[in-house]
């Protein structure tokens, strides 16, 4: 199980099982936060505990997700989908940057072009350690 905590320790997430690849996205939001995402579903393998506030994109009339952050230290813990998919699930992702470095250093990076094409880009062999150190 992987665990990530905010800087002040008030809130944390856990992810059961294999984190798989983590996603670096260049959209206007992810780029600013500098986050790396590992995905699952609400009430699935991800749990978030402790106090969080949420932010939805101010420019969107019907935002598809909310960002969860610690109200004390402002670390971004997760995003959570606001709508269900066809199978009744809500997507969720945790910010791998809150995990201990050695626990996630070798996870491969998927690059997602959330800024323009909204497509996955080919893997380039980088892993979390290459983004971080």
Q: State the nearest-atom distance from the C-beta of 49 to Zn ion, in Å.
A: 12
Report if residue 1 touches Zn ion, rule: CB under 5 A: no
Position among 35, 70, 98, 109 found at the interface with Zn ion (CB under 5 A): 70
Q: Name which of residues 6 to 35 contact Zn ion (CB under 5 A).
A: 6, 8, 10
What count of other Cβ atoms lies within 10 Å of the Cβ of residue 130? 12
The CB-of-20 to Zn ion minimum distance in angstroms stands at 26
The answer to the question of residue 121 lying near Zn ion (CB under 5 A) is no
What is the DSSP secondary structure assignment for residue 36, as one 8-state letter? -
Which is nearer to Zn ion, 20 or 100 (by Cβ)?
100
Q: How far apart are CA 92 and CA 111, in angstroms?
A: 18
The helix (run of H) or strand (run of E) holding residue 130 is helix 128-132
Does position 72 interact with Zn ion (CB under 5 A)? The reply is yes
Instruction: State how far the Cα of 49 lies from the Cα of 116, in Å rounded to an integer.
Output: 33
Pairing of strands 12-15, 2-5: antiparallel
Closest distance of CB 109 from Zn ion, Å: 25
């Amino acid at each position: 199980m992987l665990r990530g905590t905010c800087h002040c320790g008030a809130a944390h997430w856990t992810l059961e099982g294999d984190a798989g690849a983590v996603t670096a996205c260049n959209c206007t939001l992810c780029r600013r936060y500098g986050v790396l995402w590992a995905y699952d579903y609400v009430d699935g393998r991800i749990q978030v505990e402790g106090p969080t506030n949420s932010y939805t994109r101010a420019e969107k009339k019907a935002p598809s997700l909310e960002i969860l952050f610690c109200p004390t230290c402002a670390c971004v813990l997760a995003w959570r989908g606001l709508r269900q998919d066809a199978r009744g699930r809500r997507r969720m992702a945790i910010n791998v940057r809150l995990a201990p470095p050695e626990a996630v250093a070798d996870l491969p990076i998927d690059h997602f072009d959330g800024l323009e094409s909204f497509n996955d880009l080919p893997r380039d062999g980088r892993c979390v350690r290459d983004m971080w150190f």
